[in-house]
Amino acid sequence: MKTEYRTVLKEAAAELVEKRSRFIATVKPVRTEEEALEALENIKKEYWDARHNVYAYVIEENNIQRYSDDGEPAGTAGLPVLEIIKKEGLSNLIVVVTRYFGGILLGTGGLVRAYSQSAKMGIEAAVPAKMVLCRDVKIFCDYSLLGKVQSEILGRNLKILDTEYGENVTVNCFVPEVETEKFCEDMTDKTNGKIKIELGETGYNLV
């Protein structure tokens, strides 16, 4: 499992008009090929009257890469969209560029430029970001150590998920997997071993 990857944070769309043709790029984060295909079908239904719904997607698991020109000349649409995704170093997303033909032919070079630019605009609108493989870490401590524990966590630019107050305090945070062992050692050392640490599951999170 990779320690990090880049994807987009949200679904977004952007539009480009080139010689009266409308290019609408819809970008959506997905985790599986099934999710990508479902998103594609929904977008096709939304833009059912468009001449082309060109797409490309990259899935992190098994390094899946697919694209389609959807009736445009071979190599002028789907592949340029895929190349933009790869150039941006992104995965776990689908980019669909819908074209409403404006009556003026763009030529091979014009199509490549229009689809590439549309894809880039859509990706920027969807906010590219880095996802890091993190470990869910729970720290159990006395109230007297809460300030020190919180300060150490925040000082490392880590995210505190929640704090539970009972007989003792439980602080829940995400720690990058590659830093987890040293984090636990440092926290134990700085509190003179007066805390208890419980490691939970791993998952990708925005850090």
pLDDT at residue 146, as a whole number: 94
Residue 169 · residue 202 · CB < 8 Å: no
Burial status of residue 167 (CB atoms within 10 A of its CB: 0-12, 13-18, 19 or more):
exposed
Side chain identity at 43, as an amino acid letter?
Answer: I
Secondary structure class of 17 (helix, strand, coil): strand
With a CB cutoff of 8 Å and minimum separation 6, the contacts of 158 are 173, 174, 175, 207
Whether 207 shows a pLDDT value over 80: the answer reads: no
Whether 113 shows a pLDDT value over 80: the answer reads: yes
Residue 132 · residue 109 · CB < 8 Å: no
CATH fold for domain 131-206: Alpha-Beta Plaits (3.30.70)
Whether 43 shows a pLDDT value over 90: the answer reads: yes
**Mean pLDDT across 181-206:** 93
Segments making up each domain of the chain, as ranges: 4-126, 131-206
**Mean pLDDT across 166-193:** 94
- Average model confidence (pLDDT) for the chain? 94
CATH number of 4-126: 3.30.230.30
- pLDDT tens for residues 45-87? 999 999 999 999 999 988 999 999 999 999 999 999 999 999 9
pLDDT at residue 106, as a whole number: 85
List Cα–Cα distances, 138 to 84, 94, 177, 201, 206, in angstroms.
40, 35, 14, 11, 18
Q: How confident is the model at residue 206 (pLDDT cuts 50, 70, 90)?
A: confident
- pLDDT tens for residues 28-42? 999 999 999 999 999
pLDDT at residue 61, as a whole number: 87
How much of the chain exceeds pLDDT 70, in percent? 100
Residue 52 · residue 114 · CB < 8 Å: no
Q: How confident is the model at residue 104 (pLDDT cuts 50, 70, 90)?
A: confident
**Mean pLDDT across 16-34:** 95
